[in-house]
């Protein structure tokens, strides 16, 4: 009796695979994904020539990568938690890669048995399996998640096979890594490890893809070695028997178990520091091999982040140290205006909304009893949600263990601690840890105040009023205004609404977030 419940694949050699692919409608992503995934699962269960299997997998790998890119448009850089449609697209992409991985895994036993049909294919087969593992790491990062222990164990197993087959450093070609140099099993494995270590939960989707692209050229600078290497920086360690990525140690253990691999980031450090120095001296990102479309500010910020993650003891956002009850409200400027002022925004009103000591000390609203017809709806749209964690100084770590509104990296929020103190800030880290949503919070110091602003210069007089948030200056940080995205223009003049009008001139954009822009100003 046949124990294989799956029917045979539609092809069992490279030419048959090419013919089948030619009829696959890639414009229908859902259908193509389902059809390809089905064939990959059938193929993994079928008993076919291992060389044919490798050649088929090589053909299908590019199609899987293409479908991954199309599916990623539905979930990459989306607020968390993902909705049902976004989560389904992510799971579809993962199933494709895992099904392809299974086919490469089916070739490992023949390779170890020195099957003559696979002579000369060991380095490429293992590197391709490691490439799939790297893509799985990238896929998890696109959804701001961490790879499962099982996926880490599978990736580590491939590197052990590379060592057993003595092909860790043998050069191979890979057209799916167009920016790579000196591709090998070890460089592809290092690529996956360093990519995960870069912490996607602190990066935008665009920054995450840049790191992945840069690592095509940089990963060869990091070699996972059985022998302990001294380092001017930290020691990056992998345990091949553990379902986890790189760990950071200050020094090697007295007794090193055989499953440990050591890596020094010293060469990476030199590469990162030299690029930072040349950027500050006026070189462009394109001249430094970082990309024609990358701005200097983005390059500097991302290089600094990577140095901290790869060359220092810094760690990704951890679980909160305490269990303080914190109320959090997101939703953009309109939500912050509502929570700080106590009333909903109405740009057409001319009532006296504002009472403040001085704008440099952070404007605050006076409590004026007045009917607000939109209040009930605002309470539903922008509720105080219950989070637990710690807010210490100008930041902290928070977790939400139940359902709630979706959160996005670099979005505005307002937090209220148990004492009733309200602080304004942004989401600096965002990730899903199992069923828990975790955020890192960066808070602006001082008391924030809500304002209604109108443009007063030129044709801008006809523009509608906007909600804004005034933040006090502290130290070298100037007083600033939180404004809607793309509202800032250097030199634009605005004034508050109502009695006691104040006028401001916008000077410089200080930062841009997902739903705001922060600008310095002068009073007039």
Q: What is the mean pLDDT of each run of 10 residues along the chain (524 residues)?
A: 74 94 93 96 95 96 97 96 96 97 95 92 96 98 96 97 96 91 94 97 96 96 88 88 90 81 94 96 95 94 96 83 91 94 74 37 42 87 94 88 93 93 94 92 92 78 85 89 94 84 92 95 89
Inside any domain, residue 29: yes
Chain position carrying tokens 């109502």: 498
Inside any domain, residue 493: yes
Do 61 and 170 have their domain in common?
A: yes
Inside any domain, residue 327: yes
Final residue of a domain: which of 206, 224, 242?
A: 224
CA atoms within 13 A on the CB side of 85: 5
What is the three-class DSSP state of 216? helix
Largest Cα separation within the chain, whole Å, is 89
Do 499 and 360 have their domain in common?
A: yes
Do 65 and 183 have their domain in common?
A: yes
Final residue of a domain: which of 155, 189, 224?
A: 224
355 Cβ partners below 8 Å, 6+ apart? 364, 365, 366, 500
Inside any domain, residue 311: no
Do 87 and 216 have their domain in common?
A: yes
Do 327 and 471 have their domain in common?
A: yes
Inside any domain, residue 354: yes
Compute the distance between CA of residue 475 and CA of residue 461 in angstroms, rounded to an integer: 34
Centre a 10 Å sphere on the Cβ of residue 368 and count the other Cβ atoms it contains: 12
Inside any domain, residue 303: no
Do 220 and 321 have their domain in common?
A: no
Residue 399's φ and ψ, nearest 5 degrees, are -130, 145
Do 444 and 336 have their domain in common?
A: yes
Inside any domain, residue 112: yes
* Total count of domains within the chain: 2
Inside any domain, residue 291: no
Q: Which residues pair with 238 in a beta bridge?
A: 261
What the block records as the tokens of 291 is 């990309």
What the block records as the tokens of 440 is 């890192």
Residue 236's φ and ψ, nearest 5 degrees, are -95, 125
482 in Cβ contact with 518 (< 8 Å) = yes
Do 325 and 179 have their domain in common?
A: no
Is the previous residue joined to 81 through a cis bond, with omega within 30 degrees of 0? yes
What the block records as the tokens of 87 is 């989560």
Final residue of a domain: which of 191, 224, 257?
A: 224
| pLDDT for the residue 248 | 86
Residue 411's φ and ψ, nearest 5 degrees, are -90, 160
Compute the distance between CA of residue 10 and CA of residue 18 in angstroms, rounded to an integer: 11
Compute the distance between CA of residue 138 and CA of residue 140 in angstroms, rounded to an integer: 6
Do 42 and 159 have their domain in common?
A: yes
| Residue-range definition of the domain harbouring residue 486 | 317-524
What is the three-class DSSP state of 477? strand
């Amino acid at each position: 009796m046949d124990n294989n419940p799956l029917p045979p694949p539609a092809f069992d050699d490279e030419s048959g695979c090419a013919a089948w692919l030619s009829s696959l409608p890639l414009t229908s992503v859902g259908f193509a994904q389902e059809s390809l995934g089905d064939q990959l699962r059938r193929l993994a269960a079928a008993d076919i020539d291992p060389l044919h299997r490798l050649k088929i997998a090589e053909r299908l790998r590019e199609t899987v990568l293409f479908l991954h890119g199309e599916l990623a448009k539905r979930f990459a850089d989306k607020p968390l938690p993902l909705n049902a449609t976004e989560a389904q697209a992510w799971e579809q992409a993962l199933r494709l890669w895992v099904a392809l991985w299974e086919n490469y895994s089916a070739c490992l036993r023949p390779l170890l048995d020195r099957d003559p049909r696979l002579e000369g294919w060991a380095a490429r087969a293992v590197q391709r399996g490691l490439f799939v593992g790297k893509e799985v790491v990238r896929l998890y990062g696109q959804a701001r998640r961490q790879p499962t222990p099982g996926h880490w164990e599978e990736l580590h197993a491939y590197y052990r096979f590379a060592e057993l087959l003595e092909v860790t450093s043998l050069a191979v070609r890979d057209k799916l890594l167009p920016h790579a140099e000196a591709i090998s099993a070890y460089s592809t494995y290092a690529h996956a490890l360093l990519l995960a270590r870069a912490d996607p939960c602190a990066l935008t989707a665009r920054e995450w893809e840049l790191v992945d692209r840069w690592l095509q050229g940089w990963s060869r600078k990091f070699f996972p070695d059985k022998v302990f290497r001294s380092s001017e920086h930290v020691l990056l360690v992998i345990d091949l028997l553990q379902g986890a990525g790189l760990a950071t140690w200050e020094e090697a253990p007295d007794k090193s178990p055989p499953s440990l691999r050591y890596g020094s980031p010293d060469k990476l450090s030199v590469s990162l520091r030299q690029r930072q120095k040349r950027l500050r001296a006026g070189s462009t990102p394109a001249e430094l091999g970082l990309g024609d479309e990358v701005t200097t500010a983005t390059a500097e910020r991302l290089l600094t982040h990577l140095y901290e993650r790869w060359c220092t003891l810094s760690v990704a956002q951890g679980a909160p140290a305490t269990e303080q009850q914190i109320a959090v409200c997101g939703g953009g400027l309109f939500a912050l205006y509502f929570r700080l002022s106590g009333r909903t925004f109405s740009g057409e009103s001319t009532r006296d909304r504002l009472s403040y000591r001085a704008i440099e000390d952070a404007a605050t609203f006076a409590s004026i009893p007045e009917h607000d017809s939109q209040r009930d709806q605002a309470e539903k749209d922008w509720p105080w949600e219950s989070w637990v964690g710690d807010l210490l100084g100008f930041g902290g770590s928070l977790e939400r263990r139940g359902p709630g509104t979706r959160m996005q990296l670099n979005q505005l929020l307002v937090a209220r601690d148990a004492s009733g103190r309200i602080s304004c800030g942004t989401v600096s880290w965002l990730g899903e840890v199992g069923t828990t949503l975790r955020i890192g919070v960066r808070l602006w110091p001082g008391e924030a105040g809500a304002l209604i602003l109108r443009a007063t210069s030129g044709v801008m007089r006809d523009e509608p009023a906007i909600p804004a948030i005034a933040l006090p200056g502290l130290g070298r940080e100037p007083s600033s205004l939180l404004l809607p995205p793309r509202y800032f223009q250097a030199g634009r003049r605005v004034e508050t609404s109502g009695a006691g009008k104040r006028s401001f001139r916008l000077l410089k954009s200080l930062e841009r977030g997902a739903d705001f822009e922060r600008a310095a100003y002068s009073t007039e």
